[in-house]
Amino acid sequence: MSFQKRIREKLIKLTGYWIYKQKHIPIGCDLYYDLKYRIGLPMNIVFDIGANEGQTALPLHNYFSFSDIYCIEPVMDTYNILTRNTSHIKKIKRFQIAFGENNENKSILLFDNTESCMNSLNEVSMNNYEGAKNEIITIVKGDDFCLRNNIKKIDLLKIDTEGYEIQVINGFSEMIKNNQISAVYCEAGFNPQNVRNTYIEKIHSLMYKNNFSLYGVYEISNWQIKTGNNYGNFLYLNNEFIKNSLLYSGFAS
């Protein structure tokens, strides 16, 4: 073992921290680093579907200050918090709607504001406790939204909709078919018993069918593995983007 490696091992044991050169950080540790330096996504247009209170939009803006970020959050109270958290940033645009595979209105049962990240259009994931607040949500197809807003290309489509990911993706069928979406980042469950999160095999099947390849897995949560409710976030890249990118030619590392 070299002197440098011995020093590194001692520092790891002493501090409890792994030490890497930034370019050697394993894929899956830092989404923003991978997007910027390894993949080289332009990041001009980003969709944050299921934006909640801005937990993703704000760090995205910090890392990619030039990006136009479209935050999609349908629940009124949560949307108001999102607006309060992001209204000072011109690059973050907010829309109080949901995305799905049909243009329609749907009634959902809401969780308390302290658990707003659990709200979902997936019926089995709704708050079914007696007295839960009801709200009518407007659902729009992603293709139609992009047509109305003259959006011809999405660099990153982030989806966190608690089991409603398939419907959201299907709503972008035309843009996906025309290779107008470069990357999709979505949450999925590892176990078919997990009814809150879309099962990863369903996501895999749909994404491969739509000409995407899996690039990395991020933010794995295994604390509920005993109940089968463990999940993670998956980054898929469009195969046409891969062929034409520095990533494909070997220059990105």
Task: Tell me the residue range of the domain where 236 lies.
Answer: 23-249
State the total domains in the chain. 1
Question: What would the two tokens of residue 129 be?
Answer: 């406790």
10 belongs to a structural domain: no
Question: How many residues belong to the chain?
Answer: 253
Question: What would the two tokens of residue 117 be?
Answer: 């990240």
CATH of the domain at 204: 3.40.50.150
* Identity at 25, one-letter amino acid code: I
Cα–Cα distance, 41 to 28 (Å, whole number)? 16
pLDDT at 249: 42
47 belongs to a structural domain: yes
pLDDT digits (tens, 9 = 90+) for 151-186: 999 999 999 987 899 999 999 999 999 999 999 999
41 belongs to a structural domain: yes
5 belongs to a structural domain: no
1 belongs to a structural domain: no
pLDDT digits (tens, 9 = 90+) for 119-142: 556 655 545 656 667 788 899 999
Cα–Cα distance, 222 to 109 (Å, whole number)? 27
3 belongs to a structural domain: no
pTM for the model? 0.88
200 belongs to a structural domain: yes
pLDDT digits (tens, 9 = 90+) for 64-105: 999 999 999 998 999 999 999 999 999 999 999 999 999 999
15 belongs to a structural domain: no
